[in-house]
Amino acid sequence: MNNIREKLQQKMGDTSKQEQRVQVRVKKRLAKKKWLNFKWVGSVASLAACLLIIFFILPDHKPQQQGAVEIGGVMFDEKTGHEKAISDLLYDEVLASLNVTKEEKLFYTPARYTDYTYVTTHCQTTNCRILALRDNAKTGSIYNLGSGTIKIEALSPDKKMVALVLRTKKQDTLRFMYTNDITDHPEIPEYFPQIKKVKWLSNAKIQLTLNSGKKEIITIPRYYK
C-alpha cells in the first residue's frame, strides 16, 4: 500500500458501520421494490380476473340467476351459424310442432319486425315446417306458421302487425302476427299464386301484387286495435 493511500485510509478511519448501513438499506430498498412490484402485478391480475368474470362467467350464469332456467336444446342461425338456446319449457313443443326428433338440427332466422324467431329444419322434403318462436326463458309462445319459407315481411302503418308471405312450391299463403304480446293471430285461409309485393293500404287492408301483375286487396280481421 502506498503512503498516500495509507494516509487517506487513516483519514477515513473505520468505515464498517457505514458499510453495514449501506448494505442493510440496499436490501430494504430492494425488498420494498419487490413488494411494490408484487403488489402491482397482483393488482393487474385481480383486475384481469374481475374483467374475465364480468365478460365471460357472469353472462353464462345470468339466466340461471334469473330463475335457474334449463336449456332444452339449441338452434343455429341460418346465415351465421351462431348458436342460440331454446328453453326446456318450449323445446319439446318446438320439436313436436316441427315434427322432428331431438337429433334433428334446428335453424333460426330472427324476425324483422318482432322479437319472434322463425325456426325450421333442413328437412329432406320440399316444404319443411316452420314456426315463430318467442322464448323469454320463463315464458314464451309458439306460432305454427305451417310449411314453407318466409319470403316477405311487411309492417302495418300502426306498426302493430306484420304480414308474412309463406311460400311453398305450389302456392303462397298469408300469415299475420302482432308485434306486441297478443297471440290471437288473424287468419286468412286462402292460397295465392306467387306474391311479388305486399303493401299495407291501411291498418286493416293490404294490397298484394302477384307475379302475374294482378293485384288483390285483402281485408284483415283485426281482433285488437
Partner 1 sequence: MDNPHWQELLTTHTQKLLHISFLYVKDWHAAEDIVQDVFVKYFETYEQFRHESSVTTYLTRMTINRSKDYLKSFRYRTQQLTTYFTQSITTKDSLIINEEQNEIADAILALPLKYREPVILYFYEELTFHEIAVLLHLPESTVHYRFTQAKLKLREQIPEKEWGLLNHE
Q: Which residues in this chain contact partner 1 in the complex, by CB under 8 A?
A: 2-5, 7-12, 15, 18-19, 21-23, 25-27, 29-31, 33
Q: Is 135 buried (19+), middle (13-18) or exposed (0-12) by CB count in 10 A?
A: buried
Return the number of the residue (17 or 169) whose C-beta is nearest partner 1: 17
| Dist CA 145 CA 185 (whole Å) | 11
Contact between residue 172 and residue 191 where contact means Cβ atoms under 8 Å apart = yes
Cell numbers of 58, please? 357472469
Closest CB 36 distance from partner 1, rounded Å:
12
Closest CB 44 distance from partner 1, rounded Å:
19
Contact between residue 131 and residue 118 where contact means Cβ atoms under 8 Å apart = yes
Return the number of the residue (34 or 105) whose C-beta is nearest partner 1: 34
Return the number of the residue (21 or 199) whose C-beta is nearest partner 1: 21
Cell numbers of 183, please? 297471440
Closest CB 51 distance from partner 1, rounded Å:
30
Return the number of the residue (5 or 169) whose C-beta is nearest partner 1: 5
| Dist CA 174 CA 152 (whole Å) | 10
Closest CB 103 distance from partner 1, rounded Å:
60
Return the number of the residue (8 or 47) whose C-beta is nearest partner 1: 8
Q: Is the dihedral of CA 21, 23, 28, 29 positive or negative?
A: positive
Closest CB 24 distance from partner 1, rounded Å:
10
Q: Read off the DSSP letter of residue 88.
A: H
